Amino acid sequence: MFLNSANTLFLLSSFLGIFLAVSSSSWLTAWIGLELNLLSFVPLISSKKDQYSSESALKYFLIQALASSTLIMAAIMSFISPFYSSVFITCSLFLKAGIAPFHFWFPTVMQGIPWLQTALLMTTQKVAPFALLSCALSTNSIFSNKMFLIAIVFSALIGAVGGFNQTLLRKLLAYSSISHMSWMLTAMIMSDYLWIVYFSFYSVISLSIISLFHFSQAFHVSNLIFKMNFSSLDKMIVLFSFLSLGGLPPFTGFVPKWILMQEMINQNMIIVAVVLLVSTLFTLYYYIYVAVNSFMFSSSKIFYYKNPLKPMPSLLIFMNFLGLLFPSFFMLV
């Protein structure tokens, strides 16, 4: 069971590290918070005693340790060269969050861990790096804007192209997360409020997708066809949840992208808006490809699970349809 006494302690310690990093007033205390979060999350990854979890835990530890050492080195360099210090701080935080072009570790680590740890890696583990990136952006806005724009373009392109021909669901969601990070970085350039709003929507929608796959124990695209006793309603929920994750109107996932698009037009960020929209079209393609395969095809050999979609948290699934049920509410946001 995931939430035993030891894992609960590590989980609380991980949240404490996130809180310490976010609320810190210096890079030293932020580094301490990030290290506490790292040392608490590694046992959670390796809690499942198999080869893949151990390999992912080792990869995650080495990458995060490299990013942490770069961060503390950059904090020391701030007394000598503030320019190079801001460069290394931004790159180390990009590496910690798995933002392109420092994304190389993220899909492989995602592939080797269970769904519950995947949910944490895609949501809570990004809070501290993004909060610190927001601070770094406000400290040196001119140069950081250029680095952020490069990361936005790379994340949008890699997130869009990397998801093609992916048959592993966790890697598919990893590239989806990279694509969404380009939107969050764009929101961060404009205001802190926007990236927090986008991250909140992204977290809820991602958790709903992960809950679908966790309770049905699906890890491969073929599992959606051959191993789950889905009714037509269950498959429609999968389809609509993917469309919400892709930001297709009028689902809930469209709301934060709609808000960002309006703000980008107001601030004349037309080129960035075009890049993000084109990348979203590509991500929507492979979302629909997976969802339609699960909906249109079925197998005569169906394996029954003790945990079908029935006990799944209904509130998370319901969140994907708020845009359909209450469109007038989001028009006022």
Quote the tokens at residue 79.
Answer: 């007394």
pLDDT at 289: 79
> How confident is the model at residue 314, as a pLDDT?
57
Would you state the pLDDT for residue 184?
Answer: 94
Q: Omega before 250 cis (within 30°)?
A: yes
Report CA-CA distances (Å) from 289 to 154, 278, 294, 295, 333: 23, 17, 9, 10, 32
275 and 156 in contact (C-beta within 8 Å)?
yes
Instruction: Give the DSSP per-residue string, 246-311.
Output: HT-TTSTTHHHHHHHHHHHHHTT-HHHHHHHHHHHHHHHHHHHHHHHHHHH---SS----SS-STT
Report H helices in the chain: 5-22, 27-45, 51-77, 82-97, 106-111, 115-122, 127-139, 141-162, 169-190, 192-216, 223-226, 232-246, 254-266, 270-296, 314-319, 322-325, 327-331
The span from the CA of 302 to the CA of 237, in Å, is: 19
List the Cα angle 283/214/102 in 5-degree steps: 45
What are the domain boundaries of the chain?
Answer: 5-331
Give the whole-angstrom CA distance, residue 135 versus residue 138.
5
pLDDT of residue 33: 92
Task: State residue 208's pLDDT score.
Answer: 84
By the 8 A CB rule, do 181 and 99 touch?
A: yes
pLDDT tens, the chain, 333 aa long: 466 778 888 899 999 999 999 998 888 899 999 999 999 999 988 877 777 888 889 999 999 999 999 998 888 887 787 778 888 888 999 999 999 889 889 999 998 898 889 999 999 999 999 999 988 877 665 566 788 889 999 999 999 998 887 888 899 999 999 999 999 999 998 888 899 999 999 998 888 888 888 877 778 877 776 655 555 666 677 778 888 888 888 788 888 898 899 899 998 889 999 999 999 988 888 888 777 776 666 544 444 444 444 444 555 566 666 665 555 455 444
Q: Tell me, what's the pLDDT at 84?
A: 80
Residue 168 bridge partners (DSSP): 220
